[in-house]
């Protein structure tokens, strides 16, 4: 997409054009990569963060912002040379090439998952990158620092020797196949399970029991259900929406459905859970689709036929406290017979859970606050989703067994004799595993794995929690052992980085870069060896000189989309136990949220707070720009108020928008813009310092240019096989309108009066709503 501009001291290529068609081909593959998505930007997947931006988009932004006559490119023969005129005019030709922008300095005041730092280092730039949240700071630190894979593996092996056997004993169950075989091989062994329970009752050592009886399988998942006591008849109400809890699968084919008998607790397979079935154990007839809870999970009905009282689950919890939980089923893998199976929870399983809880209570005075968090869940928009269900402390989100095991694992990591960077890699992996090893996870009953906690970017306590094995069996999703293997693979990107691109035949390919993507941390203005100035703090103060950076490239918080600090505190509560001795930013009981640039009414933050915070950060970033530097960021939102606050912040920081380009967003489930629909586009906004005396412009000129841009965008995206929705068109129209409006503000006139920001945004929305059919027709400039 091409455009023209007012004169500037230096015009970056991004102010004249941006490769929307070519970029969207790569971006579309990156955002829809599914399980292969981490292969695009492995370092971003070392740990959870929210609203990850597409690496392909940020590489293109940097290339089109930085490439100039001093830039070098590596030829196919391996020799470096200065870029030629054609490459300067078309930086896309350099997308899948080795490029050296040595000497250029980038600033990102809203670091997040660190994509700007990764992409800057890939171009041999230096970067100043800052974030308020210490969890973001820590994950980017581990992602960028060079680490040796063999050293990491050796540390994991030592941890496994020290910890794994001890913690895995709490995730054992009796394998029915091996029990039957063992019973047949022994005389008078028909009551083996009773003997095992008796041994547990006596308090015998678990490892001795497991050694003596070769009948145990490794637990992948324990299945629980929350229970209420009926306020009227005092009957226990299991909060099931239905009694089918897993598919019986062979590969990708469903061969039946596992259901739970509500009368006797038997687990068995049916061919159709939508019809009435009969339990083979107690012969009770029931419908597996029917439970005691409404489909939306909000209300319960007492199963007692003589009662049948209904009520709100949240209201019941507020009045009577956190619901109790009942263990009803187990999924396990037996390393002896190879069986992977679902079984009903036995008395032995209940006793193992009770043993873990008893040991936790005994050890809690020594480990609470040292290896298990002792902090309260603070009030907030997302956190109230948990506190409404009776969760008060962060550790309440974990079962007693998980607390015990996770505490042992954390203790083991801190006791390892290894370097601090190696320990921090293990701590980050441990933290990553927490999103699967907690009681706010639910089982994916179709694909048979555990959902992670943040599948909806919220704290949503399920009525049927799935208790995962934190260390992990041979099979299982999101376990520490599996995540370590994945993270170890991801870290190979540091020493063997690459760029994924679309070939002429339409296939994805990798171009491997010749230099590593490794961060040497320090003050880049004082330490010649440092290439990353990694900062944790409020970005209204960035400790670098005036006029020192070539470009600001960032992705600011999107108004009220994601409450980063509230969600990140889930990890912070555990990470601080391992990091507070070394880093002051992990010594407070909660992560910082006072200075967070966000709209969060539950924390007393409104639109004016967001406007003030974003203005101050933008103004501080503008201070650091060189005279010919540019300021680039991405944005989208559903509300005019969010766009208005962002625009006002740009203007308050004495900036104006010189170019705006629509690009595909990071995921198809991005935040809604019009009503309930989801936009697929971000807008890339390019800014410069505002001229002192902007010219007048009539609204009709802006309207005309917006319509032309919409028509061009429809054609551009259609060439890539993508149809812009009305929601996407609103992003496109707003972006183009912002460019023209900000350039001339406040001298934008309509019917003799100045057009205010709310009037401008309303008029843009009206264009998309009322004139959409006309936008499909060719429009001449």
Is the pLDDT score of 672 beyond 50?
Answer: no
> What's the pLDDT band for 596 if we cut at 50, 70, 90?
confident
Please report where in the chains the tokens 């928009």 appear, as a residue. Answer: 381
Contact 675, 769 (CB under 8 A): no
Which 3-state string (H, E, C) describes 321-340? CCCEEEEEEEEEECCCCCCE
Edge-first strand order for the sheet with 655-664 is 532-536, 126-131, 105-108, 549-554, 625-635, 681-689, 655-664
At 450-481, the pLDDT tens digits run 988 988 788 989 999 999 999 999 988 899 99
The Cα-based distances of 344 to 273, 276, 331 in angstroms read: 18, 20, 9
Q: What is the pLDDT of residue 52?
A: 82
For the chain, the average pLDDT equals 90
The Cα-based distances of 58 to 302, 622, 645 in angstroms read: 54, 20, 24
Q: What is the pLDDT of residue 679?
A: 55
Q: List phi, psi (to 5°) of 99.
A: -125, 140
At 539-573, the pLDDT tens digits run 999 999 999 999 999 999 876 666 788 899 999 99
Q: What is the pLDDT of residue 1?
A: 55
Is the pLDDT score of 668 beyond 50?
Answer: no
Higher local confidence (pLDDT), 651 or 678: 651
Rounded-to-integer distance, Cα 471 and Cα 594, Å: 35
Q: What is the pLDDT of residue 490?
A: 97
Residues with Cβ within 8 Å of 536's Cβ and at least 6 positions away in sequence, in order, are 130, 131, 132, 133, 134, 137, 585
Q: List phi, psi (to 5°) of 382.
A: -80, -40
383-388 contacts: CB < 8 A, separation 24 or more?
383/459, 383/566, 383/569, 384/602, 385/458, 385/459, 385/460, 385/461, 386/440, 386/459, 386/461, 388/314, 388/317, 388/318
Is the pLDDT score of 773 beyond 70?
Answer: no
DSSP state of 38: G
> What's the pLDDT band for 779 if we cut at 50, 70, 90?
very low
169-173, 307-311, 776-780, range with the lowest pLDDT? 776-780
Number of C-alpha atoms within 13 angstroms, CB side, residue 281?
A: 12
Of 774, 618, 775, 458, the closest CA to residue 107 belongs to: 618
Q: What is the pLDDT of residue 678?
A: 54
At 34-77, the pLDDT tens digits run 667 889 999 999 999 987 889 999 999 999 999 999 999 999 88
Rounded-to-integer distance, Cα 617 and Cα 414, Å: 37
Residues with Cβ within 8 Å of 195's Cβ and at least 6 positions away in sequence, in order, are none
- Tell me the chain's radius of gyration from C-alpha atoms: 29
Rounded-to-integer distance, Cα 573 and Cα 182, Å: 45
Q: What is the pLDDT of residue 189?
A: 54
Q: List phi, psi (to 5°) of 229.
A: -105, 125
Chain length of the chain: 781
What's the mean pLDDT in 766-773?
79
- Domains, the chain, ordered by start: 13-140+502-560+608-689 (3.40.50.150), 151-241+291-489 (no CATH), 691-781 (no CATH)
Element of type H or E holding 69: none
Q: How many other C-beta atoms lie within 10 A of the C-beta of residue 136? A: 25
Contact 534, 519 (CB under 8 A): yes
> What's the pLDDT band for 190 if we cut at 50, 70, 90?
low
Q: What is the pTM of this model?
A: 0.93
Residues with Cβ within 8 Å of 153's Cβ and at least 6 positions away in sequence, in order, are 488
- Omega cis (within 30) before 259: no
Contact 442, 241 (CB under 8 A): no
Of 625, 497, 508, 489, the closest CA to residue 98 belongs to: 497
487-501, 512-526, 554-568, 733-747, range with the lowest pLDDT? 554-568
Higher local confidence (pLDDT), 717 or 20: 20
Of 105, 96, 99, 95, the closest CA to residue 83 belongs to: 99
Q: What is the pLDDT of residue 157?
A: 97
What's the mean pLDDT in 116-145?
97
Two structure tokens written together for 610: 């967001």
Is the pLDDT score of 6 beyond 50?
Answer: no
Contact 680, 725 (CB under 8 A): yes
According to DSSP, the β-strands at 267-270 and 253-260 are: antiparallel
Is the pLDDT score of 437 beyond 70?
Answer: yes
The Cα-based distances of 177 to 174, 180, 182, 543 in angstroms read: 9, 5, 9, 65
Contact 431, 47 (CB under 8 A): yes
What's the mean pLDDT in 379-406?
93
As beta bridge partners, residue 355 has none
Higher local confidence (pLDDT), 398 or 9: 398
Q: How many other C-beta atoms lie within 10 A of the C-beta of residue 667? A: 16
The Cα-based distances of 285 to 257, 279, 383, 555 in angstroms read: 16, 6, 41, 56
Rounded-to-integer distance, Cα 375 and Cα 587, Å: 12
What value, to the nearest 5°, has the Cα angle with vertex 136 and ends 131 and 141? 100
Q: What is the pLDDT of residue 151?
A: 97
Contact 18, 661 (CB under 8 A): yes
Q: What is the pLDDT of residue 10?
A: 67
Q: With left for phi above 0 and alpha for psi between -120 and 50, is residue 357 left, alpha or beta? A: alpha
Q: What is the pLDDT of residue 781?
A: 42
As beta bridge partners, residue 247 has 257
> What's the pLDDT band for 642 if we cut at 50, 70, 90?
confident
Is the pLDDT score of 413 beyond 80?
Answer: yes
């Amino acid at each position: 997409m091409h455009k023209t501009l007012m004169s500037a001291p230096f015009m970056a290529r991004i102010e004249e054009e941006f490769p929307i068609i070519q970029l969207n081909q790569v971006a579309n593959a990156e955002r829809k990569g599914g399980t292969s998505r981490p292969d695009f930007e492995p370092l971003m997947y070392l740990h959870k963060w929210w609203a990850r931006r597409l690496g392909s988009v940020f590489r293109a932004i940097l290339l089109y912002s930085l490439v100039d006559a001093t830039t070098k490119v590596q030829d196919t023969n391996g020799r470096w040379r200065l870029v030629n005129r054609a490459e300067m005019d078309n930086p896309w030709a350099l997308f899948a090439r080795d490029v050296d922008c040595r000497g250029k300095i980038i600033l990102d005041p809203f670091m997040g998952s660190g994509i700007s730092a990764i992409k800057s280092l890939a171009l041999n730039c230096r970067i100043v990158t800052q974030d308020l949240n210490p969890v973001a700071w820590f994950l980017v630190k581990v992602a960028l620092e060079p680490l040796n894979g063999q050293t990491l593996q050796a540390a994991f092996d030592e941890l496994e020797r020290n910890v794994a056997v001890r913690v895995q004993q709490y995730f054992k169950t009796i394998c029915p196949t091996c029990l039957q075989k063992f019973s047949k091989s022994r005389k008078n062994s028909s009551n083996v399970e009773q003997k095992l329970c008796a041994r547990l009752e006596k308090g015998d050592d678990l490892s001795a029991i497991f050694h003596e009886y070769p009948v145990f399988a490794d637990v992948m998942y324990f299945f629980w259900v929350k229970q209420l006591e009926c306020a009227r008849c005092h009957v226990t109400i299991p909060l099931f929406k239905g009694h089918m809890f897993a598919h019986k699968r062979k590969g990708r084919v469903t061969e039946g459905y596992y259901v739970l008998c509500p009368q006797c607790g038997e687990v068995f397979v049916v061919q159709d859970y939508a019809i009435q079935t009969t339990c083979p154990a107690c012969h009770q007839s029931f419908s597996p689709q029917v439970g005691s809870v409404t489909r939306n999970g909000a209300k319960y009905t007492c199963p007692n036929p003589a009662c049948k009282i209904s009520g709100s689950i949240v209201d019941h919890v507020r009045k009577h406290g956190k619901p109790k939980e009942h263990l009803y089923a187990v999924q396990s893998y037996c390393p002896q017979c190879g069986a992977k199976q679902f079984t009903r929870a036995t008395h032995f399983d209940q006793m193992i859970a009770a043993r873990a809880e008893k040991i936790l209570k005994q050890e809690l005075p020594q480990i609470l606050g040292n290896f298990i968090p002792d902090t309260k869940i603070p009030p907030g928009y997302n956190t109230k989703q948990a506190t409404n269900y009776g969760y008060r402390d962060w550790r309440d989100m974990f079962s007693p067994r998980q607390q015990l095991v996770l505490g042992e694992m954390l203790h083991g990591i801190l006791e390892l004799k290894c370097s601090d960077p190696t320990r921090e890699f293990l701590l980050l992996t441990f933290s990553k595993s927490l999103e699967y090893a907690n009681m706010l996870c639910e089982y994916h009953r179709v694909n048979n794995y555990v959902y992670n906690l943040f599948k909806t970017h919220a704290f949503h306590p399920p009525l049927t929690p799935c208790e995962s094995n934190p260390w992990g069996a041979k099979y299982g999703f999101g376990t520490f052992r599996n995540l370590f293997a994945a993270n170890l693979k991801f870290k190979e990107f540091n020493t063997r980085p690459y760029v994924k691109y679309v070939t002429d035949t339409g296939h994805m390919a990798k171009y491997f870069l010749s230099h590593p993507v490794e961060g040497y941390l320090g003050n880049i203005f004082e330490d010649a060896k440092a290439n990353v100035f990694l900062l944790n703090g409020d970005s209204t103060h960035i400790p670098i000189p005036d006029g020192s950076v070539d470009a600001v490239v960032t992705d600011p918080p999107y108004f009220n989309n994601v409450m980063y600090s509230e969600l990140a505190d889930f990890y912070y509560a555990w990470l601080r136990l391992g990091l507070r001795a070394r880093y002051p930013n992990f010594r407070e009981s909660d992560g910082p949220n006072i200075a967070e640039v966000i709209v969060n009414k539950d924390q007393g933050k409104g639109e004016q707070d967001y406007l003030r915070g974003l203005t101050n950060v933008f103004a501080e970033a503008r201070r650091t720009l060189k005279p010919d530097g540019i300021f680039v960021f991405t944005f989208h939102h559903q509300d005019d108020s969010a766009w208005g606050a962002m625009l006002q912040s740009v203007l308050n920081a004495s900036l104006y928008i010189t170019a705006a380009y629509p690009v595909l967003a990071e995921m198809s489930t991005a935040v809604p813009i019009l009503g309930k629909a989801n936009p697929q586009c971000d807008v890339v906004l390019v800014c410069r310092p505002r001229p002192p005396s902007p010219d007048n412009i009539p609204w009709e000129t802006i309207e005309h240019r917006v319509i032309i841009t919409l028509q061009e965008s429809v054609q551009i995206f259609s060439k890539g096989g993508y149809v812009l929705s009305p929601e996407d068109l609103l992003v496109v129209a707003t972006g183009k309108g912002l460019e023209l409006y900000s350039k001339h503000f406040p001298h934008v006139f309509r019917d003799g009066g100045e057009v205010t920001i709310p009037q401008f945004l309303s008029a843009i929305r009206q264009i998309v709503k009322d004139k959409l059919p006309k936008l499909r027709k060719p429009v001449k400039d």
